[in-house]
Amino acid sequence: MYARIIRNDIRRSRLASLATALFVAVSALLVSLAGALGAELSAALELLMERAATPHLLQMHSGPIDLPRLESFAAGRPEVEGFQVLEFLNVEGFSFEFGDRTLAGSVQDNGLSVQGRGFDFLLDLDGNVARPGEGELYVPVFYFKDGTARAGDRVRILGREFRVAGFVRDSQMNSALSSSKRFLVSEADYAALRDRGSVEYLIEFRLRDPGTLGSLEAAYVAAGLESNGPRVGYPLFRMMNALSDGLLIVVLLFVGLLVTFVALLCIRFALLAKIEQDYREIGAMKAIGLRVSDIRGGYLAKYAVLAVPGVLSGWALSFAFREPLLANLRLFMGEGGASRLAPALGLAGALMVGLLVLGYVRGVLGRFRKISAAEALRFGAPRQVSRRPGRLRLAAGLPLGANAALGFLDVLARIPLYGTMLAVLVASSFIAVVPRNLHTTVASPSFSSYLGIGACDLRADVQAVGDIPGRASEIAAALAADPETLKSVVLTARAFPVRGKDGSESSLKVELGDHSVFPVAYSEGRAPGAPDEIALSVLSAQDLGMRVGDRLAAAVDGEWRDLRVAGLYSDVTNGGKTAKAAFSGGEAPVLWAVVQASLRDPSRSREKAEAYASAFPYAKVSSLQEYVSQTFGPTIRAIRSASRISLGVALVLAALITLLFVRMLVARDRVSIAALRALGFRNSDLIRQYLARSALVAGIGVLAGSLLANTLGESLVGVPISLFGAASFEFAADPLSAYILIPLAVALAALAATAAGAAGAGRIDVTQTIRE
Amino acid sequence: MNTILSGERVVKSFGDGAERRNVLDGVSVEIRQGEFVSIMGPSGSGKSTLLYALSGMDRVDGGRILFEGRDLSGLRDDDLADLRRRRMGFVFQQPTLLGNLDLLDNIILPAVLFGDEPTGALNSASAREILDILSEVNAAGTAVLLVTHDAAVAARAGRVLFLRDGRIDRELELGPSGGQSPEERTRRVSEAMRELGI
C-alpha cells in the first residue's frame, strides 16, 4: 500500500519531488566533495610531511652562527631527536634566467639549497628524495604551476648552466604564503656558487614528541641563540600548506550546508502544503485507528524514496568532480594514499545529508499529533484568517494599479506563508554575496593590511646585504627626490629582548619608524607614536600575554624600558609574531629594512617597481599589487572559482524554489483565482499580481540577504582567517556587485520563475472551481 | 444486552476566556451491544461533538467515556488509536475514503460503527445503499451510532436521541426495524422533531 501511495504522490507532484531529489543530490555532492577532499588533503599533507621529515622547529638566521654552541644546545635537550643546520643561498631574482625570462619580478626569496642529511627532504613528484647530479636543477613545484619552468629546460643561475631535472615539493616552503623558495642543486654546484649570494641558515630540530615544541622553543629563546630571522613551528607549516585547498573545502562545505538548508525549506513547504491537502484524510486515518507513527511512516517513506537516490547520485557525482578539484592538491602535496578513506568520508558526508533531511521531515510530521481527527473530519484544514479585512476599493484607482496592490496585500495578509520563499531568497543572496565579498577583499590592495603591511603602492625589501640601513637610505632618498612619489617612509627591523607577563624573556622583532605614514589595520588601539609606545601583532600579544594598555619591558642597548602597548594588529607573515614601535633602535643589528612609498599615479606602480628594481638590484622591489598577487594568487583564484560557483548555485536555487512555490500557491489559490477571473481579471493581470507578490518578497529577501552577508557572513569568514593572525576582519566589498548587481540577479531570477509558475493560473477551470 | 459504550456526565468546551462555552453540558448516554442509535438535534446542539467524544477522537473536559468498561480518558493517544482500529469503525460524510482501500475496508467490522451525516453528500439512491449496508452491519451484531438531520435516516435506528444545548432533550424508542414500516417510523421521528422545534 505504501508503494502505491508514494508512487501516486510523486506522480501528482512531479516538480516538487524532482526539486527535492535535486537539492538533496546537490547537497550530498557538495558535502561529499568536502569530506573526500578533506580526507585527501589531510592524508596527502601528513604523507608529505612524514616523507619529507619536516622539521618541528625552524629558525632562520642571517649572519654569523656559532655552530658548536647550537650543537651543544641540541645535544643537551632530551626532547630533540635530530638537529641540523642547512644553508639557503639567497640569489637575486634576476640571476635566475629561464630563457629570456628571469625571476626579477618575483616577490619570493629564491635561493639554492642542497638536500638535507637527516631530515627536511625536498621530494620529487614521485615522492622520492630528490638527488640532483652536477648540472642538474630541481625547481620548486610553485614554478611549475605558474608556467615558469618545464622539465628539460635550460636555466642559468648566476651564470652557471643547469638543466631542469625535475620539480620538488618542499614541505616548508611549498605554499605561496611562504616567502622563500628553495631550488635544489648538487653539493658541487652549491659549493661553486656559495660565494655569489648571501647565505641564510636554516637551524632545524626534529623532536621525539611533537608536543614538546613549546618547551624547546622557549628554551631556544631563553638561551639567546641565533634568531636573526623568522621562527616557524610544525603546526604553522601544516596550516600554510593546507590553506588554499583548505579554504576551497570550507567553501564547499559552507555552500553544501546552505543548499541543505534551502532543501529543508523546500521540503517543509511542500510537506505542509501536502498535509493541508490531506488534512481530512489524515483525520480519517486517525479516526479509524492508525497511529501517528503509522501515518507519519507513509509520508516519511516518500521522502526516503526521494532522498536515497539523491544521496547516492550526489555521492556518485562527487567522483566526477573530485579529480579537477584535487589537481592543485596533488601537484603540491602528492598522493595521500587516502583512496579508501576519501570515498568513505564522502559517503559519510552524503549520508549525513540524507539523515538530516529525513530527521527534519520526521520533525515536521510531528504536527500530526496536534491534528484533531474530529476537527479535521468536520472542517478540513484550518484556514489562515486574514487579520485585516479588505479595505481595498478597486474603483478608487490605486497607485501602481490594482494588480500590484492586490499582490502586495496578499503578502501582508499571509506573511507566514511567504516566509519560506523569503527565507530561500535570503539564503540565496547570502550564498552569492559572501564568497564574492571574500574574493574582492583578498584581491584588494587593502588586504595587505592583514599582512602587516600598510597600503602603499611600492615596497622595497632590503635584507641579507651589508649595511642594510645605508642601502635603505639610498632607496628612500631616490624616492624622495622622485616627483612621482607622494610620500615614503623607511622602517627598519631589529630584535630586542622582551619580558612577557609571566616574566619569561624572549626575543621580539620590532619594526621601527613612522607607522602613521602607511598604517596597518589595528584590531585594537592605534599605531605607536610616542617613543615609549609599542604595537604588537595579535600572535605576539598572545605569546606575551599582553593587551592594549599593558606595559611591556624591552631591553634597548642593555637598558630595560617600559613600553606601553598602544595597539594590536594583524600580521600573517613572518610567523605572525612581530611588533611596531617609533623609538630609535640603538645599537641592535638591523635585520631588514623596508622602504614604502605611495605614488601620485598608483597605476604606474608596476612600472616604477621595475625601474627601482633594476636601479637597486640588492633590494626586492615590487608593487604591492604584485606582492599580494604572488603571495595570495592561488588562494585568490580558488576563492574566485568558489564565488562563481556560489553565484550559479544561488541563482538556480532562487529560480527553482520560486517556481515551485508559485506553482503550489496557484494550486492553493485556485478558488480565489477563479473568482478573480469571474470578476474580469485577465490572465496577464493574475501574472502581474503574482509578480507583485514576488517583487515584494524578493526585494526584502535580497536586501536582508545582502545585509546578512555583510555582517554575519563577515564574522563567519573572519573565523578561519583569524587563525593566521588576522585579529579582525572586514570585507572590502565591491558595492556595485555586493549591493546592486548580485541582489538584482537573484531578484530577477525569482521574478522570471514567478512569471513561469503563475502561467498556470490561466488554466484553471473557472466554473468547475467555483462549483466545488 | 450489555452496555458497550457509555458517556457519564460528559462535558466538552470550546473557545477561550469569555467566549468559552460548553458544547456538551453534562450529557449522559448508554449504547448497548448491537444497538442502532441515531442522534439528532438543531445545529450547534453538540451532535457531532458527542459522537467524536464517544469514539475517543476528542478528549472531554469533564465526565467520562467508558468503552467495554475501559475509561478512555486514561488511555494514551496511541492506545486510543489501537482501540479505534480494532473495535470501532467510521463512515464519513466527506469523500474521505482512503483511495487504496475498498468500501468495506474503510468501515471494517468492529464492535461500534460511528457515522457523522454519512448520507449528507449523497443522492437518495446512494444514501439508501449506504443505509442498507449499515443495517446489515448492525444486524450482524455491530452497534451503530449515527448523527443525522434526516428523519428517514434516523428512523433506521431502534432509538433516537434528541440533543439540545449539549444535553439530551428527549429519547424516542422506535424498536426493532421489522415492527413498523419505514414510513411510520419516519413519521414518528418527524413528529418528534416538530414538537421539539427542530
pLDDT tens string A431-485: 899 889 888 887 776 776 666 677 789 989 887 666 788 899 999 999 999 999 9
Percentage of chain A with pLDDT > 70? 92
How high is the pLDDT of residue A464?
Answer: 65
A642 contacts A717 by C-beta, under 8 angstroms: no
Residues A125-156: tens digit of each pLDDT: 999 999 999 999 999 998 998 888 999 999 99
**Chain B residues near residue A291 by CB distance under 8 angstroms:** 78, 81-82
Q: Can you give the residue range of the structural domain that contains B182?
A: 34-52+78-196
How high is the pLDDT of residue B101?
Answer: 44
How high is the pLDDT of residue A481?
Answer: 93
- Residue B97 sits in a domain whose CATH number is 3.40.50.300
How high is the pLDDT of residue B66?
Answer: 96
What average pLDDT does chain A have?
A: 85
**Residues A704-726: what's their mean pLDDT?**
78
B180 contacts B169 by C-beta, under 8 angstroms: no
* B98 interface with A at CB cutoff 8 Å: yes
Residue A572, pLDDT above cutoff 70: no
CA gap A114, A442 in Å, rounded: 35
**Residues A480-501: what's their mean pLDDT?**
89
Q: Is residue B57 part of a domain?
A: no
Burial grade of B104 (CB within 10 A; 0-12, 13-18, 19 or more): exposed
Q: How confident is the model at residue A585 (pLDDT cuts 50, 70, 90)?
A: low
Within 8 A by CB and 6+ apart from A426, the residues are A701, A702, A704, A705, A708
How high is the pLDDT of residue A684?
Answer: 84
**Residues A686-692: what's their mean pLDDT?**
91
Query: pLDDT: is A619 or B112 the higher one?
Result: B112
Residues A145-188: tens digit of each pLDDT: 888 899 999 999 999 999 999 999 999 988 877 778 999 999 99
- Reduce the DSSP state of residue A614 to 3 states and report it: helix
**Chain B residues near residue A369 by CB distance under 8 angstroms:** 77
Element at A516 (helix H, strand E) = none
Count of domains in chain B?
Answer: 1
Q: How far is A3 from chain B, CA to nearest CA, in Å?
A: 11
How high is the pLDDT of residue B147?
Answer: 94
Q: How far is B82 from chain A, CA to nearest CA, in Å?
A: 5
Choose from A262-276, A578-592, B106-120, B158-172 the range with maximum mean pLDDT. Answer: B158-172
Q: How confident is the model at residue A692 (pLDDT cuts 50, 70, 90)?
A: very high
How high is the pLDDT of residue A55?
Answer: 96
User: What is the DSSP-derived secondary structure letter of residue A729?
Assistant: -
Residue A363, pLDDT above cutoff 60: yes
Q: Is residue B2 part of a domain?
A: no
**Residues B48-55: what's their mean pLDDT?**
91
Smallest CA-to-CA distance from A237 within A465, A478, A48, A428 is with: A48
How high is the pLDDT of residue B98?
Answer: 45
* A374 interface with B at CB cutoff 8 Å: yes
* B56 interface with A at CB cutoff 8 Å: no
Residue B94, pLDDT above cutoff 70: no
How high is the pLDDT of residue A727?
Answer: 60
**Chain A residues near residue B98 by CB distance under 8 angstroms:** 281, 284-285
* A1 interface with B at CB cutoff 8 Å: yes
**Residues A657-665: what's their mean pLDDT?**
86
Q: Is residue B21 part of a domain?
A: no
* A292 interface with B at CB cutoff 8 Å: yes
**For the ranges A34-48, A72-86, A692-706, which has the lowest average pLDDT?**
A34-48
| Contact call for B90 and A284, based on CB within 8 A | yes
Residue A28, pLDDT above cutoff 60: yes
Residue A386, pLDDT above cutoff 60: no
Q: Is residue B25 part of a domain?
A: no
**Chain A residues near residue B49 by CB distance under 8 angstroms:** 374
Within 8 A by CB and 6+ apart from A277, the residues are A381
Side-chain half-sphere CA neighbours of A127 within 13 A: 14
A299 contacts A274 by C-beta, under 8 angstroms: yes
Query: pLDDT: is B160 or A728 the higher one?
Result: B160
The ipTM, to two decimals, is: 0.71
CA gap A218, A216 in Å, rounded: 5
Q: Is residue B163 part of a domain?
A: yes
Q: How far is A377 from chain B, CA to nearest CA, in Å?
A: 8
Q: Is residue B108 part of a domain?
A: yes
Residue B100, pLDDT above cutoff 50: no
Q: How far is A247 from chain B, CA to nearest CA, in Å?
A: 50
- CB-CB: which of A1, A290, A380 is closest to B81? A290
**Considering only alpha carbons, which residue of chain B is nearest residue A278?**
B96
Smallest CA-to-CA distance from A31 within A506, A246, A351, A291 is with: A351
**Residues A15-31: what's their mean pLDDT?**
85
Q: Is residue B29 part of a domain?
A: no
What average pLDDT does chain B have?
A: 87
Residue A289, pLDDT above cutoff 60: yes
| Contact call for B116 and A4, based on CB within 8 A | no
CA gap B22, A408 in Å, rounded: 41
Q: Is residue B153 part of a domain?
A: yes
CA gap A723, B101 in Å, rounded: 62
Q: How confident is the model at residue B42 (pLDDT cuts 50, 70, 90)?
A: very high
